[in-house]
A and B are shown apart, each in its own frame.
Chain A
Amino acid sequence: MLIIAQHGEIFIILACLFGFFMAWGVGANDVANAMGTSVGSKAITIKQAILIAVVFEFLGAWLAGGEVTATIRGGILDPVLLEANPELLVYGMLSALLAAAIWLLIASARGWPVSTTHSIVGAIVGFGAVGLGVDAVAWGKVGQIASSWLISPLLAGTIAYVLFKSVQHLIFESSDPLAAAKRYVPGYVFLVGFIVSMVTLTKGLSHVGLNLSFGQSLLLSIVLGIAIMGLGIVMQRRIKFEQNANDHFGYANVERVFGVLMIFTACAMAFAHGSNDVANAVGPLAAVISVVRSDGVIDSAALVPWWVLMLGGAGIVVGLVTYGHRVIATVGTGITELTPSRGFAATLAAASTVVLASGTGLPISTTHTLVGAVLGVGLARGMAALNLRVIGTIAISWLITLPAGAGLAILFFFMFKGMFG
């Protein structure tokens, strides 16, 4: 208790610094995965992508980032076992943040495909198991998180498969694909608006002080979905179509209609990413703050202060602006085989999965979800060629990231323990 009273301010400042560092890493690296499909399919330019990412990552982090933050903060470790020594939780969370951020930096410099989510979860589990004892880790919750890493690509893949098949059935196989695209694409826009609003309203808005019943949320989501659909129709009207002799089904024009849709799915993806991944930086930070503020009382039910999510959002934005734009450019120009219709199916599926996971408070990896979604479109015969070796690389990055994050976190944990006593 004394240690916390003595060094409370330092702990908060350190936590903010490390949290910002971590959020910077998330923004610099991970956002590119979320925006890559949209840029790669040439639906939006890199500048537009950055603008969308800045606005919607921030909104996602702020409005819907609460649930996953709570899981990272209090779900992985058993708070009851920490009541005697709350300062250990502070050290641990500080070291987890620092470990994950540094690991992210090292891996990014080497070009290893690591997940920010894996880094932070690995780090928290690591210091928990070694620094506090194996019993301190809520293994049930960890198992649930681990299983979600398997389920999320599968779910995203299934949704992407169904979406692409529906596009194929409704639009590409109709006798006039362009007319069909004009008719059905607003429906997909509605879907995007509805899913995002629904999860935000039902799960995310409690900390902003807005409490809506399920019925109210449903109604408001439908209204928002229709409003966004209206916007989509207006944008669709402004497309200029070109007639090409070689293209007797007019698929080039159909893809232009999908280009409009891609802008919405890009927004949804940025929102989803912000809502899930902000927690990686903000969760430990919130834990430190709540322990210090309450003078050592560990209260897992306390609300996350609103400015903490904003800090995380700001960190992501700074990372994106200072470094992420280059990664987006690389990823975006690398993906040449992706048309807007395929990119749409993949991105919307991934965004829905991430948004759903954020709603239930599960931290999942955006990268894995997207990879699953792209594979889903591939299974629907939508992709010209996919390199399956990447799945192996990702599996290896899993194996490396968890112990690496854990090892670094243990190291820092004992360092802080030595420094503050």
Chain B
Amino acid sequence: MVTSNPFSSMFGRSPFQPLLAHIVKANECADQLLPFFEATLADDWVKAAELRENVTRLEHDADTLKTELRLNLPNTMFLPVSRSDLLDLISVQDKIANKVRDITGIMMGRKMRVPDELAEPMRDYICTSVACVAQARQALEELKDLLESGFGRNVADVMHRMIRELHILEHQADDQQVTIRRQLFALESQLPPVDVIFLYKIIEWVGELSDRAERVGSRLQILTAR
């Protein structure tokens, strides 16, 4: 007899589930970066191609989730957070996956191999950047509790502590970037100039990855502060 009920149709679909699913995808995407880097170091281009494939797929999944979230936010939706902040956050999150795709793409395309002297510091640098992304994801996972408690003070404190840690990690990545640039500068004369240009580019992009993860944190802070 009854097909729709005004009462049940009042409950819209939560935008926070796709938001969380999206950062999980972005994080998985970033997790491919280190194995990919190891494969390029080992000159194992078959494996690298495989990992690059994973990155593309995950980035595509993230894109789908982003679209889903945007479509789930019609103008009539009443949310506990500002709609524009939410949309900002998802686009910042999306840029993480995009950057990973760019890094693997250019390394794959040019069959780039980082010089052995740079391998160790580069590995640490990538580790820190990826850790930033994981930290951003953890902070976002607190959203569920935050929503549960109607944005209670305690959960907000936990989230802010995580965002502070994220900030520290990002700083660390910045310092590592400076060190690697200096080391690369010392090696410059022995390497083909074009390769050097692209090495600088990769170093910069890995740094951007952590930058963007931190930006997710600050967006999250804006989203929950009211």
Contacts and interface: CB of A to CB of B under 8 A. Distances in A.
Do the two chains belong together in a single complex?
Answer: yes
A290 interface: no
Interface string A256-273: 000000000000000000
Interface in A141-168: 164-165, 167-168
A108 B150 contact: no
B200 interface: no
A331 B1 CA distance: 13
- For chain B, what secondary structure do more than half of its interface residues adopt (helix, strand, loop), or is it mixed? loop
B222 to A, nearest CB: 15
B15 A385 contact: yes
A389 B12 CA distance: 10
A374 to B, nearest CB: 6
B150 A172 contact: yes
Interface string B82-100: 0000000000000000000
Contacts, number: 146
A394 interface: yes
Contact residues on A (Cβ < 8 Å of other chain), bracket: 35 or more
B205 interface: no
Contacts of A394: 6
Interface stretch (A11-19, A25-33, A67-75, A196-204): A25-33
Nearest to B158: A248
Nearest to A33: B7
A175 B153 CA distance: 10
Interface stretch (A235-243, A332-340, A401-409): A332-340
Contacts of A28: 1
Contacts of B2: 29, 32, 108-109, 111, 327, 330
Taking residues whose C-beta sits less than 8 angstroms from the other chain, chain B's interface range is 35 or more
B108 interface: no
B7 A370 contact: yes
- Chain A interface mostly helix, strand, loop or mixed? helix
Contact of B77 (A32, A175, A338, A388): A388
A367 B7 CA distance: 7
Interface stretch (A49-57, A297-305, A306-314, A375-383): A375-383
B152 A168 contact: yes
Interface in A315-373: 323, 326-327, 330-331, 334-339, 341, 367, 370-371
A386 interface: yes
Interface in B1-54: 1-16
Contacts of B147: 384
Interface string B200-226: 000000000000000000000000001
A371 B152 CA distance: 24
B78 A168 contact: no
A249 B155 contact: yes
A9 interface: no
Nearest to B8: A334
Interface of A: 28-29, 32-33, 36, 40, 108-111, 113, 164-165, 167-168, 172-175, 177, 247-249, 251, 255, 323, 326-327, 330-331, 334-339, 341, 367, 370-371, 374-375, 378, 380-390, 393-394, 397
22 contacts: A28-B1, A111-B2, A113-B5, A173-B152, A249-B149, A249-B154, A251-B145, A327-B5, A339-B148, A367-B7, A374-B7, A374-B10, A375-B78, A378-B78, A378-B80, A382-B80, A383-B78, A384-B15, A385-B15, A385-B72, A387-B11, A387-B78
